[in-house]
C-alpha cells in the first residue's frame, strides 16, 4: 500500500517517479535536519530504471535527451544547481559557437585538443562529431550557418535558439529537469545502485534518490570532481588554460594595440623541479597594455597550461617576428637598405620586405640603443646583424598570466584513462558515466583573423551523446532481460 506522509514533497517525487516504480526515498527536512525515511511501493509491476544526470549544461542535457530518446521508459532526471545551459548562453559571445564546420578530419580535429589529442583520435568523433551535431540541431529545427573561419552559429546569432531547442526537446521526451538543487554526495549500494544525496540551494532540505545509472556532467565544478572521487576516480588537478601573458618590459606599453599577423613564439619555462619541454606556436600576436595576447599566445597558454602552472607563470618567450624570412635574407635586406638610403634617418625608413610597423621598428632601435637622428650610413654592419638577430629571436620575460576576455577555461578533471571513450562509462564503477568539461579534455585552435576557436563545447555534445546512447542501450537491454524472465 502507498504510504505518503503529508510533508513529503509529493510534487518532487511525482516528477521523477513513474506509476510502475518501486521507490525508497529518504528525506531530511526542516532546519533541525530531522531524518525521515519513506518507503514507497507503488506497484507490483516490474520496475523501470532511473538515470540521474548531475548538471544541466551542454553535456548533461544533450546526454539526457539521447538516453530518453533511445529508452523512452527510462526515468531521466537532470539535477542542476543553477540555471540550465548557462554556459551555452554565454558561449561564442552570446551567439553559441555550436561547433567547427571545417574540421571534418577527426585526426586533425583531435590535434586541437591539448588534453585529449591522443585519445580523441580513435572513434570518439566518429561516433558523434561536428557534422552529427550540426545535423542534430538542423533536424530539430535550428538553422545553422558556418562562418569563413569554420565556426558554426545558429542563424539567429543568438544562443537562446540553441537553449530553447534543447529545453523543448527534453520536455517533449519527458526528461525531468530539477533546478536549484545540488548533488552533494553519492555512494553505491551492495546491489550496484547509486544513492544520491541532493540538497536544495536555498532552503535546508535534503533528499536521497536511488538511481541505476549516474551521469556526471558537472563541468569544471569542484563539487563534480568530489562526486567522481567518492566513486573511486582520481582527478587531474585543475589549472587555468587560455590566458594572456604578462611581460616584464615597460617599453611594450608604447606598442599596445600593435598586431603581428604571423610570428613564431617559443616558450621556455623556469622550474627547479624538472626539465620542462619547450612549447612553440605560429600565428598572429597582439600587444596589450600588459604583455601579449592573440591566438599564438592563447594556444601557448593552452598547450603549456600545466607546465606554466608548475613554473608559476615565469619563463621566457622567444619571438621570431619575421618567421617566413631566413636570417641571412633579413641581414641582406638591411644591408641593401643601408646602401640605398644611406642619407635617410634610421628611425624613419626600414626595408619594406620585413613587413614591420613603424612603432615596432622604433621599439627595436631603442633596444639597440639607436636613438636620435642617426643616418643609415652611420650604422655598422655588426649592428645590422644584431637587429636581424633581434627580429628573428627577440627575448621577453614572462612574469605572470593575464585573463582572456571573461572566459575562464580550466585544464584538468577526470583522466581519460579512467573511462572508456567508446561508451563514456567509468572503468572503475559500472553504470557511472562522465561527459563534458568534467573530463580532462579541452580544445582550442586559433589563427584566422585573430579569432580563437574552442572545441570544448563539441566535446560536451559528443561525450553527452555517446554516454546517452550507452545508457539508453543498457536500459533497453535490462528491460528486455526483465521481460524475458
Ligand X SMILES: Cc1cc2nc3c(=O)[nH]c(=O)nc-3n(C[C@H](O)[C@H](O)[C@H](O)COP(=O)(O)OP(=O)(O)OC[C@H]3O[C@@H](n4cnc5c(N)ncnc54)[C@H](O)[C@@H]3O)c2cc1C
Q: In whole angstroms, what is the distance from residue 86 CA to residue 411 CA?
A: 20
Kindly state the smallest distance separating residue 472's Cβ from ligand X, in Å.
Answer: 18
Distance CA(67)–CA(194), nearest Å, equals 18
**Assigned C-alpha cell, 94:** 552570446
Residues between 132 and 171 that touch ligand X (CB under 6 A): none
Binding mask 52-71 for ligand X (x = CB under 6 A): --xxxxxxx-----------
In angstroms, the CA 210 to CA 371 distance is 75
Nearest-angstrom CA–CA distance, 329 and 326: 5
The sign of the torsion formed by the CA atoms of 353, 359, 364, 366 equals positive
- Closest distance of CB 381 from ligand X, Å: 50
Q: With respect to ligand X, which residue has the nearer C-beta, 60 or 472?
A: 60
User: Which lies closer to ligand X via its Cβ, residue 84 or residue 291?
Assistant: 84
- Cα 17–Cα 18–Cα 19 angle in degrees, nearest 5: 125
Span near ligand X by CB under 6 A; candidates 129-137, 215-223, 262-270, 288-296:
215-223
CB of 181 to ligand X, least distance (A): 7
**Distance from C-alpha of 56 to C-alpha of 150, rounded to nearest angstrom:** 27
Considering beta carbons, is residue 97 or 311 the nearer one to ligand X? 97
Stretch that binds ligand X, among 1-9, 15-23, 48-56, 122-130 (CB under 6 A): 48-56
Residue closer to ligand X, measured from CB, 79 or 163? 79
The sheet carrying 75-80 orders its strands as 176-179, 75-80, 50-54, 213-216, 432-434, 425-426, 419-420
Site string for ligand X, 412-451 (x = CB under 6 A): ------------------------xx--------------
Look at the alpha carbons of 387, 391, 397, 400 in this order and tell me if their dihedral is positive or negative: positive
- Binding flag, residue 457, ligand X (CB under 6 A): yes
How many C-beta atoms lie closer than 10 Å to residue 451's C-beta?
Answer: 16
Q: Return the sign of the alpha-carbon dihedral for residues 216, 217, 223, 229.
A: positive
Candidates 103-111, 202-210, 388-396, 452-460 — which segment interacts with ligand X by CB under 6 A?
452-460
Q: Which residue number places its CB atom closest to ligand X?
A: 57
**Exactly one of 249, 353, 368, 407 binds ligand X (CB under 6 A); which one?**
407
Q: Taking the complex as a whole, how short is the minimal distance between the CB of residue 456 and ligand X, in angstroms?
A: 3
Rounded to whole angstroms, what are the CA distances from 220 to 166, 195, 304, 414, 437? 21, 22, 19, 10, 6
Residue closer to ligand X (CB basis): 110 or 217: 217
Decide if residue 183 touches ligand X (CB under 6 A): yes
Q: CB nearer to ligand X: give 72 or 150.
A: 150
Quick one: which of 106, 110, 96, 93 has its CA closest to 58? Answer: 96
Q: Least distance to ligand X from the beta carbon of 63, Å?
A: 9
Bin 180: left if φ > 0, else alpha if -120 < ψ < 50, else beta.
left
> Which of 53/398 has CB closer to ligand X?
53
For helices 327-340 and 381-392, angle between their N-to-C axes, nearest 10 degrees = 140
Which range in 69-77, 217-225, 346-354, 372-380 contacts ligand X by CB under 6 A?
Answer: 217-225
88 vs 269, which CB is nearer to ligand X?
Answer: 88
Q: Which residues bind ligand X (CB under 6 A)?
A: 54-60, 79-82, 86-88, 90-92, 97, 182-183, 217-219, 221, 223-224, 406-407, 436-437, 454-458, 460
Amino acid at each position: 500500500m502507498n504510504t505518503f506522509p503529508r510533508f513529503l514533497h509529493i510534487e518532487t517525487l511525482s516528477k521523477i517517479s513513474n506509476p510502475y516504480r518501486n521507490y525508497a526515498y529518504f528525506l531530511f527536512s526542516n532546519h533541525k535536519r530531522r531524518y525521515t525515511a519513506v518507503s514507497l511501493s507503488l506497484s507490483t509491476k516490474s520496475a523501470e530504471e532511473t538515470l540521474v544526470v548531475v548538471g544541466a549544461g551542454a553535456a548533461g542535457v544533450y546526454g539526457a535527451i539521447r538516453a530518453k530518446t533511445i529508452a523512452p521508459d527510462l526515468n531521466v532526471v537532470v539535477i542542476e544547481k543553477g540555471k540550465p545551459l548557462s554556459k551555452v548562453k554565454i558561449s561564442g559571445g552570446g551567439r553559441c559557437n555550436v561547433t567547427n564546420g571545417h574540421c571534418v578530419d577527426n585526426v586533425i580535429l583531435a590535434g586541437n585538443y591539448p588534453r585529449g589529442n591522443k585519445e580523441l583520435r580513435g572513434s570518439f568523433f566518429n561516433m558523434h562529431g561536428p557534422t552529427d551535431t550540426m545535423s542534430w540541431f538542423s533536424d530539430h529545427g535550428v538553422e545553422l550557418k558556418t562562418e569563413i573561419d569554420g565556426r558554426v552559429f545558429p542563424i539567429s546569432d543568438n544562443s537562446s535558439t540553441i537553449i530553447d531547442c534543447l529545453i523543448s526537446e527534453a520536455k517533449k521526451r519527458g526528461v525531468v529537469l530539477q533546478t536549484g538543487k545540488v548533488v552533494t554526495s553519492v555512494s553505491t549500494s551492495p546491489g550496484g545502485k547509486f544513492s544520491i544525496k541532493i540538497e536544495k540551494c536555498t532552503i535546508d532540505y535534503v533528499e536521497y534518490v536511488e538511481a541505476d545509472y549516474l551521469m556526471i556532467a558537472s563541468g569544471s565544478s569542484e563539487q563534480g570532481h568530489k562526486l567522481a572521487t567518492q566513486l573511486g576516480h582520481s582527478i587531474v588537478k585543475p589549472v587555468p588554460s587560455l590566458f594572456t601573458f604578462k611581460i616584464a618590459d615597460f617599453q611594450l606599453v608604447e606598442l599596445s594595440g600593435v598586431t603581428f599577423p604571423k610570428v613564431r613564439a617559443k616558450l621556455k619555462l623556469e622550474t627547479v623541479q624538472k626539465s620542462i619541454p619547450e612549447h612553440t606556436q605560429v600565428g598572429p600576436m597582439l600587444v596589450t597594455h600588459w604583455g601579449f595576447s592573440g591566438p599564438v599566445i592563447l594556444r601557448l597558454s593552452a598547450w603549456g597550461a600545466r607546465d606554466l602552472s608548475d613554473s608559476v607563470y615565469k619563463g621566457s618567450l622567444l619571438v621570431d617576428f619575421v618567421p617566413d624570412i631566413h636570417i641571412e635574407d633579413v641581414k641582406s635586406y638591411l644591408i641593401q637598405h643601408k646602401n640605398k638610403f644611406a642619407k635617410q634617418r634610421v628611425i624613419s625608413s626600414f626595408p619594406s620586405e620585413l613587413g614591420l610597423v613603424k612603432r615596432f621598428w622604433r621599439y627595436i632601435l631603442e633596444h639597440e640603443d639607436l636613438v636620435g637622428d642617426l643616418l643609415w650610413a652611420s650604422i655598422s654592419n655588426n649592428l645590422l646583424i644584431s637587429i636581424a638577430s633581434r627580429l628573428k629571436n627577440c627575448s621577453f620575460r614572462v612574469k605572470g598570466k593575464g585573463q582572456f576576455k571573461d572566459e575562464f577555461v580550466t585544464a584538468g578533471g577526470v583522466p581519460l584513462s579512467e573511462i572508456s571513450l567508446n561508451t563514456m562509462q567509468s572503468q572503475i564503477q559500472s553504470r557511472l558515466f562522465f561527459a563534458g568539461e568534467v573530463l580532462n579534455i579541452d580544445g582550442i585552435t586559433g589563427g584566422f583573423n585573430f579569432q580563437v576557436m574552442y572545441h570544448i563545447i563539441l566535446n560536451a555534445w559528443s561525450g553527452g551523446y555517446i554516454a546517452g546512447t550507452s545508457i539508453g542501450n543498457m536500459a533497453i537491454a535490462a528491460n528486455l532481460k526483465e521481460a524475458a524472465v
